[in-house]
């Protein structure tokens, strides 16, 4: 199933029933054709609501909005545009950043809110697997907060440079950030030991875990780079592998789910392929070249995937 939208697509996501696209014109479009006018300005970030019903978007109007089919509700507002957003189905919490502030709200309690101040702008947010702690990426490292505690000192994981996004390994043992200077950085939380993952020709726009958390796939190279996360040391002392190498283009985005082996890659030349690293070869979902892929998602259970490109074209594919 293919779509053409009249605005650039910020994010592609799957809620519990269908694919959902967030657009640069401030609208949210559902696979069934429903359109919600949500933000006064562009959607800058989006995630699935903790309930699995619809998505939560952050806009350059400073609003955080929950969109379901035929309904859009403002959940919170920041002091400026919303840079990044994440949600936890396990805890029901939603975290978002605006400038130097990380805010946490509760999808089941409209009165709950925590605001955590940073020294520099927050570029990314992520929940740990239980939804109890929130990591932020910022200049010179990552900060780690308990989501519900009002007065606290964050754990500061330091590494010089500009960190652009952040994520937890599925077992909660590691934090990984992407960096401005074409590399990833990581920390093992139990002892804050550093992990450097470099050698990329381009910025790493996305990384994603798969195969029961034993692999981390990343964009930023001519193929998908796979780092092993096996045992207590994760990728430390181990070499990465690469699949789908193509010297004519770069992988712009990757998508997967932690419990499945299926991996999807979107390329700068507009093509999309999928593979299972445990199997052989790869198959193209979108063979035709075109505008760079700017959004990519895999459904829970990895039975479906969605892609979108820079020109507003999008598609949903079932395996």
Q: What is the pLDDT of residue 205?
A: 97
The CA-atom distances, in angstroms, between 277 and each of 74, 187, 197, 242, 254 are 41, 25, 20, 10, 13
pLDDT at residue 278, as a whole number = 87
If we measure between CA atoms, which residue out of 175, 286, 154, 279 comes closest to residue 229?
175
Q: What tens digit of pLDDT does each residue of 9-42 get?
A: 999 999 999 999 999 999 999 999 999 999 999 9
| pLDDT value of residue 82 | 98
Using one digit for the tens of pLDDT, what is the confidence trace for 89-117? 999 999 999 999 999 999 999 999 999 99
The pLDDT, as a whole number, for residue 281 is 83
Angstrom distance (rounded) from CA 113 to CA 103: 7
Over residues 217-261, the pLDDT tens digits come to 999 999 999 999 998 888 888 899 999 999 999 999 999 999 999
Averaged pLDDT score across all residues of the chain: 96
Q: Could you give the CA distance from residue 60 to residue 98 in angstroms, rounded to a whole number?
A: 10
- Reading the block at residue 166, the tokens are 């952040």
Among candidate residues 50, 189, 24, 45, the one with its CA nearest the CA of residue 106: 50
> Residue 276's pLDDT is what?
93
Q: Quick one: which of 199, 236, 240 has its CA closest to 216?
A: 240
Q: For the chain, what percent of residues have pLDDT higher than 70? A: 100
pLDDT single digits (tens) 35-77:
999 999 999 999 999 999 999 999 999 999 999 998 999 999 9
Alpha-carbon distance 155 to 102, whole Å?
Answer: 14
Q: What is the pLDDT of residue 30?
A: 97
269-287: pLDDT as tens digits: 999 999 999 887 899 999 9
- Confidence at 141, pLDDT banded by 50, 70, 90: very high
Instruction: Provide mean pLDDT across the span 309-316.
Output: 96
| Residue appearing with tokens 């999808």 | 107
**Long-range contacts of 153-160, Cβ-Cβ distance < 8 Å, separation of 24 or more:** 154/116, 157/187, 157/192, 159/185, 159/187, 159/194
Residue 317 has pLDDT above 90, yes or no: yes
Query: What token pair was written down for 292?
Result: 């760079």
Closest CA to 164 of 184, 144, 143, 192: 184
Task: Assess contact for 175 and 185: CB atoms under 8 A.
Answer: no
pLDDT at 171: 96
pLDDT digits (tens, 9 = 90+) for 153-210: 999 999 999 999 999 999 999 999 999 999 999 999 999 999 999 999 999 999 999 9
Task: Please give the torsion angle defined by the CA atoms of residues 72, 302, 272 and 25, in that order, rounded to the nearest 10 degrees.
Answer: 0
């Amino acid at each position: 199933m293919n779509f053409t939208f009249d605005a650039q697509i910020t994010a592609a996501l799957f809620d519990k029933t269908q694919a959902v696209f967030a657009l640069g014109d401030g609208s949210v479009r559902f696979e069934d054709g429903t359109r919600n006018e949500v933000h006064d300005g562009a959607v800058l970030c989006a995630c699935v609501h903790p309930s699995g019903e619809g998505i939560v978007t952050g806009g350059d109007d400073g609003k955080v909005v929950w969109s379901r089919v035929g309904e859009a509700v403002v959940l919170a507002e920041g002091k400026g545009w919303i840079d990044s957003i994440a949600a936890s189905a396990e805890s029901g919490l939603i975290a978002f950043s605006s400038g130097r502030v990380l805010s946490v709200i509760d999808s089941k309690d409209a009165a709950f809110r925590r605001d955590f101040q940073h020294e520099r702008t927050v570029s990314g947010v992520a929940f740990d697997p239980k939804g109890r702690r929130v990591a932020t990426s910022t200049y010179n490292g990552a900060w780690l907060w308990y989501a519900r505690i009002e007065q606290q000192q964050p754990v500061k994981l330091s590494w010089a440079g500009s960190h652009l996004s952040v994520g937890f390994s599925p077992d909660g043992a590691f934090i990984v950030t992407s960096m401005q200077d074409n590399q990833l950085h990581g920390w093992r939380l139990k002892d804050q030991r550093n992990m450097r993952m470099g050698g990329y020709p381009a910025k790493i726009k996305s990384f994603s875990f798969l195969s029961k958390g034993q692999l981390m796939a990343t964009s930023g190279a001519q193929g998908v780079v796979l780092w092993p996360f096996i045992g207590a040391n994760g990728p430390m002392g181990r070499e990465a592998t690469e699949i789908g190498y193509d010297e004519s283009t770069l992988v712009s985005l990757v998508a997967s789910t932690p419990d499945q082996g299926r991996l999807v890659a979107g390329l700068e030349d507009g093509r999309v392929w999928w593979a299972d690293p445990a199997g052989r070869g790869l198959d193209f979902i979108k063979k035709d070249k075109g505008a760079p892929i700017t959004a990519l998602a895999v459904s829970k259970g990895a039975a479906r995937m969605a892609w979108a490109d820079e020109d507003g074209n999008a598609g949903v594919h079932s395996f």
